[in-house]
Structure 1
């Protein structure tokens, strides 16, 4: 009887192991040294060498694709915008911003989960913040960033190009957003530039800026 009980336990364990579904893994964003993963519907920016949802490890990543380690097996993944069967298409998030002081669009949001007041600037190539704002947000731009020179209203300035984990306004959350940290106190407000706006749908309509998430 004991032998039969052990055999039954082993059989049930084998059935459970074989019927456990492998995680549904997709790459929905690619950046140098990082990828945005969608694992069983959970979306997260994961840098090379780090472990994401479902224990998925990002081995390498660039603009062409990523190598992921899933359940101990490494394979290459391309960028995917398609959802696996069994998952409902996520609802597109929308946000309307009325024109405010000075004829500009102002919106409260967050960078890496911390509150920021944004000035929408469609003429800015990237999200831009000054060095004091970067320090408050805990962004180690001198270590993690690449030094560049940018043009400002008062001339050229030293800056660092970085990648933010997330930028959020309203319910619209975009991961892996390129940004610049400018030396000094300018810009006084964080600029919500095209590195964010280019990742969403947006249009101006009679003094109202309308944003909509793409995925």
Structure 2
């Protein structure tokens, strides 16, 4: 029997719509979500009548998509994504186990998972992820990178599009390591430095600049 985890609420709001979601239970590949007062049992890939799609779920987190925007839900955190104007965007990322901020996103339109790293100069990923995303990293500038296992060869490239939630930036520098590190894609300062950032009670707030 799957072990269910209880207790997370997420609120999506915009000028055009408002969705209030409360995750009642989590298990591998499924989640019980209260959507505007109606409970829906969703499995990975299912979309509720209200338009909420469960992208993935496990005992620690779920990723949902609403109106084309994805959010990572972490237990016992309340997150809101707001659209104050058509040109203004804000994303809130709760801290996961260990204090790291992990969120879903997109590189060149492909879904990925990021770990926010304010100490990283650029977005950083390993060659396996780069190959999966169709990045021709061997055409980039060769550089040396430091990994958890020591020094490794890397390639400096420019990513056409990098997005977290509805904040998408173009021409974002990244380094592709020829080792298997980092295991999760690091969202570094080549993306973060182009946004306004703040931390509110452990929640990282990213805001697009006007």
Distance 2:181 2:148 in 1: 9
Indicate yes or no: 2:80 matched with 1:91.
Answer: no
Provide the aligned C-alpha RMSD in A: 1.2
- C-alpha displacement at 1:151, in angstroms? 1.6
The within-5 A match list for 1:118-137 is: 118-137=114-133
**Does the CA contact (< 8 Å) of 2:148 and 2:181 recur in 1?**
no
Moved segments of 4+, more than 4 Å:
none
The within-5 A match list for 1:57-206 is: 90-143=86-139, 145-206=140-201
- Figure out how many residues of one structure are paired with residues of the other and give that number: 126
- C-alpha displacement at 1:91, in angstroms? 2.5
State the secondary structure of the residue aligned to 1:185: coil
Greater fraction helix: 1
- C-alpha displacement at 1:101, in angstroms? 2.0
Distance 2:195 2:150 in 1: 30
Distance 1:121 1:203 in 2: 14
- C-alpha displacement at 1:90, in angstroms? 4.8
Distance 1:134 1:206 in 2: 34
* Structure 1 residue ranges without an equivalent (≥5): 1-88
TM-score, with structure 2 as normaliser: 0.58
Who is 1:12 aligned against? none
Q: Deviations over 1:50-70 (max 9, x none)?
A: xxxxxxxxxxxxxxxxxxxxx
Larger Rg: 1
Q: Deviations over 1:104-148 (max 9, x none)?
A: 0000000000000000101111000100000000001102x1000
TM-score, with structure 1 as normaliser: 0.57
